[in-house]
Structures are given as structure tokens and as C-alpha cells.
Structure 1
Amino acid sequence: MSAQPHDFRFTAQELAEFHRTGYAGPFTLYEPDEIERQWARTRQDLLDRSGAVYRDESDGSGAANLCNYDRHLDNAFLADHITQPRIVDRVASVLGPDVLCWRSDFFPKYAGNEGTDWHQAATFANACGRPQIQWPRGAGPGGCLTVWCAFTDATADMGGLQFIPGTHRTMHYDETKRMRYDPERNVSLVKNGVRRGFFGYDYRELQIDPHWQPDESKAVSVDVRAGQFVIFWSRLMHASHPHTGRTRRMRMAFSARYVPTSVRVYPGVSVVEEYGGRASLDRYATVLVSGEERYGHNRVARHTTKGHPFRRRP
């Protein structure tokens, strides 16, 4: 008799707790020595950008800032990572059986770096003023599920994650306002006694109430060890600690972001614009990681063979 596949879906109790707090984990995906080997190899592989979705441009547009978005579309290890059953089963528990991965990105933090500012995202229009994901009218809360995987240890003193549980139910930011990109001014600001930044933006510019402040007394820190991941709503108030520099080791995290197939990705736009960069979406596609795609309003990529990166369907 053949062995039955593992089922990593949330139990009813785990799902109820996730809906209450807005996050779950950490869960182990790789053993520490395994992810150390894989990440060392992958770092070298990522230097080859010949197949990357977003290309560096020479016209001064700053597209180099986007160069490591969506590397799951051209890198074999990351392509397999976003489809791991330990991730996908849990994500599908929340979103339903038909799921797309619509974005992935890296989050390094070096010794001495400031913490990432408190923020929420429902449409990801925060940097460009135009929605990057759009749920059907009245069909869901907005936002996406972020699966944040630590490729190195991500403890509090190395820039680990912070959440304010339960805050995914209320948006405190208006993403249509658009933030001003000013890396000289906004890289590191002292907020409530902590050095924080948001990649050249000041997230406070989006506040619905300019006098509102996150209630940091309710914040929790989540240590994520190398090879572990957490899942959280992008609408959840989240941030990260500064990297204290007590160790010189870099913190590296990789985020994969998931939505139901009913959600429109980059609706009505042909370029992605943020963080000082502008790049064409001509080579971009979502990835179906679970179920079926019945809507036809998103470009979808496919696996060529097991262990190889994705290619956009014609």
C-alpha cells in the first residue's frame, strides 16, 4: 500500500486562531543546514539575470531597484519553494482551493540597518497610487497572504518580525494617497524611540488620521529561525526590528504572496512603478499553485519540468 501524502492544511482550531490574530507560525520548511546550502547556491544563481522578469534599464528610470522581484519565475529553487505543500496547503486553507502566487521579493537587513516601519497593504497601491491587486467587489477583505520565509535566522536583534494581532480587520492607511520617494530623507527616522524606515518612503503619509499611531504596547515579536516561515495577512499591522549589529550576519527573508484566482493582478497597468524603479510587465505572469484558474483575467505561468523555473503561457 502506497504512503498517503501529508496534509498540511490548518485544522479548524488553527484556522480560527489565524482569523483572530491575522498570522500563524513559525512553521519549519527546511532544516537549518539545508537552507544554508540552498541559499548559498541560490545567491550565486541569482547573479545571472538573463531570464529575470524585470531588466535593468539604462535610461535612469531606476528599474534596478526592482531587479529581484519575482525571481521565482526564473530560478529553480525559488520556483519549487513557492509551490511547497507545507506552504500551499496552509494558504489554501484560508483563501480556498484556487490560488495564485502573484509576487515574490527579498528582504535583506544588514548589521546596523534600521527597522522596517509599521504598515498594512490591501491593494499594494501604496508606492504608485494604483492598485496592484484588486478583489472582486464585495468578495473579500482585500490584501493577500504573505509567506515570509527566513533564509537566515531572523531574531529580534537581527531585524525580526513584529505584528500587532487582530489589526487586519481595520485599514489605517489610504493607499490611494501615494507616498513621496525620498531615500535621502526617509531611510532612517526615529519613531517612538526606534529607528525605522520604509525603503525610501515615509508610510505615515498614507495615514487616514494623521494623528493616529500604532499601539505598539500590543505588538508581538516573532523569532523565525533559518528554514522557517510565517503566514500573515498583508492587511495586518507588521514591521521589523532594527538589526542591532550584535552579530555581523545578514538577515535574509524571502516573501511569496498569494491571492485567490478571482483577484485581478496589475489590473489595467503595463508597468510596475515603485521604490525609485519602473519596469515593464511584458515578461510577468502569475503562478497557479493550487486548484484551477477559471477566470482568465490574469496571465498565468506554467512549470516546464519538475525542478525548473516557470514560463509564461502563450
Structure 2
Amino acid sequence: MTSSTERVDLGLSPEELAFFHRNGYIGPLTVYTPEEMDRMWKTVQRQTLDRSYAAYPEVDSGAGAPNIFNYDRHLDIDLLARHVCNRKIVDKVASILGPDVLCWRTEFFPKYPGDEGTDWHQADTFANASGKPQLLWPGESEDDFGAGTLTVWTAFTESTRENGCLQIIPGTQHTMNYDETKHMDYDQERINAEIKDGVPRGFFGYDYRQLQVDPSWRPNEEDAVSLTMEKGQCVIFWSTLMHASLPNTGTGRNYRMGFATRYVPTKVRVYPDTDHIEEYGGSISLEKWAAVLARGEDTFKHNKITSTTLRGTPIHSL
């Protein structure tokens, strides 16, 4: 019998960890029951409408600004702050990254009926839109290939092939097929307007194929795995794993909502030598941004860390 002071290990099993290292992902894994997820999403959905404490303002300039200001709502919404520190997630992340873990970004990924799928892509330094790395691992220069970030993509609604589930190509995390130092042209008119290899796909106004190391290369769609998930389940994967999503071919209210939390060990420098995010046609100050120490301790002191939400709520007392 476990005493109240003992810590139950919620990390990956040796078999799960071996699967992850071989394939670059693990899941689906259950974080919440469907009923718990329904209650959580209903509350979060209502609270996202209040942007009075949001890290990034809703601005009129920059056609791509909406893609940026849906970032990092865990910094002002208590339930999302609790989510990024959920031990069913962070203990598994720590199995891969080590005991000391930062959550440096979160993002909502909605897909409504008629929305295109997302291009096949990989991200290492997240320099793909601005050309400036957002992550640097120890010993890296801006031209190095590192480990990227660990993404935990949680299904806040059911995620099916019809409504645009995630797809991954197992084992592709070791070779970057894209050069993030190359330039992508932003064009809002591309959104929901292109067919790629027979599938409606885009990248929020960019064409990710512009970053290909070999312009004639194409991902092998036959190797793709479609990650259908019940609401409340998640998948953990390296950002350097080839991943994409299908279009939403559903009708009515059959939308898909994913919520991505991104983790790195505390030794990684986040947004090095910059004070703003420049993506998707918009540029927003990082003044209110801070990483969250989701697990362990930070002995490196590389990054701005917050222990409270922007509403003043202590994160680890949630």
C-alpha cells in the first residue's frame, strides 16, 4: 500500500520508452475521461473570450496575428495552467527529457468543417516563420540541428479522420527534411486554397514545401499513421517527427480542437536574444511571456520563469 507521502511514478514504462525512442511518438494516452474533458473544455472555452490578462493582445495589424494570440493561454487561464503541469503528462515528459522540465509554449489548434489539413512539417528551432531560432539547446549555434521540443497534443474534442486528426510518419525524427534558415512567403490567400498530393493542405498562410532541403522530395504518405483520439487523450512526439493533419471533411458542428503543450529541459534557451515573436504576418512583444517550470527545478537560470498566472494565481497551488 502506498503512503500519502510517496510519489507514484506516472512516467513511461520501459516498453513505452523504447517505442518512443524508435518511433518518435507515443500514444494515444489517456489524461482525462471524456466527461472530465467535456467539463474542462466547456469552462476553458468560455474563459478564452476574456483576454484582459492574456499574454498577447488581439491586434488589428498583421493578417497572421490570430495565429499568435492563441498562444500561451495557460499563462492566464487557471485550468490550462493546471493542464501543463498535470503529472499524467509531465512525468511522462520527464521520462524522455529528464526531471527538470519547462513548458515554454501552448497553442490551440482548431479545425472546423471545410478547413484544410496542415502541411507535412518538422520543427527544430522554430525559426521556420521568422528565420530566427526560438530554441537553442546547449552547444548549438543557430545553424545546428538539435532535438527540437517535445509536443504533447491533447484532444479537447474527439479527433477523427473525418474532422482532421493528426498524422505522423514514425521514425522520421532523426533527419531534417526542411531547412528552417530558408525563407517562406506569407500569403493569407493561400489558406484553404491549395491541394497538395491530392489532399487540401496548407500551413496557416505559408507553403512549408518552400523549406525543403530537396525541392523534389515528397513525404511517403503510405507510411503515415492517423492518430484518432477520444476527447481527453493525448499523443507525445518530437517536433522533429514528420507530422501533419487531415482536412476536416465533416459538416455541422463536427469541429476538432487540439491543445498543444511544448516542453524542453531547463538547459534549453527559449527565445534567445529576442523580445518579440514574429510569425504569420504579425509581431508581438514577449513582455508578458514567461516559461513555466512544470516539473523539477531550474538550476540553469537561462530563461524568464513564472510561478504565477498573469491573474496572480500561484501555478503549483492550482
Moved more, 240-249 or 273-282: 240-249
Q: Compared with structure 1, are the counterparts of its residues 209 and 186 closer, same or farther at alpha carbon in structure 2 (3 Å cutoff)?
A: farther
Tell me the residue number matched to 1:31. Answer: 33
Larger deviation: 5-14 or 158-167? 5-14
1:68 maps to 2:70: yes
Q: Specify which of 236, 241, 265 is matched with residue 260 of structure 1.
A: 265
Q: Shift of the alpha carbon at 1:57? A: 3.3
**In the alignment, is residue 168 of structure 1 matched against residue 173 of structure 2?**
yes
Match in the other structure for 1:96: 98
% identical aligned pairs = 56
Q: What are the Cα deviations for residues 269-302 of structure 1, in whole angstroms up to 9, with x where unaligned?
A: 1110111221000111001111111111200010
CA distance in 1 between partners of 2:114 and 2:130 (Å)? 29
Q: What is the rounded CA distance, in whole Å, between the counterparts of 2:287 and 2:12 in structure 1? A: 36
For 1:202, the equivalent position in structure 2 comes to: 207
Shift in Å, 1:185: 2.6
Cα distance in 2 for partners of 1:58, 1:114 equals: 24
SS at match of 2:185: coil
Q: 1:88 aligns to what SS in structure 2?
A: helix
Amino acid at match of 1:217: E
In the alignment, the residues of structure 2 paired with residue 246 and residue 47 of structure 1 have an alpha-carbon distance, to the nearest angstrom, of 24
2:157 maps to 1:147: no
Specify the code of the residue in structure 1 equivalent to 2:44. Answer: T
Distance 1:46 1:106 in 2: 11
1:240 to 245, 265, 276: 245
Show the counterpart of 1:85. 87
Q: Could you tell me how far 1:186 is from its partner in structure 2?
A: 4.7
Q: Write the mapping of 1:36-47 to structure 2, written as runs, cut at 5 A.
A: 36-47=38-49
**1:131 aligned partner:** 133
- Give the aligned residue type for 1:243: N
Query: How much does 1:2 deviate?
Result: 3.2
Q: Tell me the CA shift for residue 310 of structure 1.
A: 4.8
Task: Give deviations 1:142-190, integer Å, cap 9, x for gaps.
Answer: 2000000000001111100111000000000000112111010354311
Conserved 8 A contact 2:63-2:282: yes
Give the TM-score, by structure 2 length: 0.92
2:255 alignment counterpart? 250
Q: CA deviation at 1:4?
A: 4.1
Change (3 A) 1:21 1:310: same
* Residue aligning to 1:279: 284
3-state SS, counterpart of residue 289 of structure 1: strand
Runs of 4+ in 1 over 4 A off after TM superposition: 58-62
CA offset at residue 3 of structure 1? 7.1
Question: Cα RMSD (Å) of the superposition?
Answer: 2.1
Whole-Å Cα distance in 1 between the matches of residues 64 and 244 of structure 2?
25
Q: In 2, Cα distance between the equivalents of 1:198 and 1:309?
A: 36
- 1:72–1:310: 8 Å Cα contact kept in structure 2? no
| Per-residue deviation, residues 94-145 of structure 1 (Å, max 9, x unmatched) | 0011110000000000012111110000000001100011111269942000
Instruction: Report how many aligned residue pairs link the two structures.
Output: 310
Unaligned runs of 5+ in 1: none
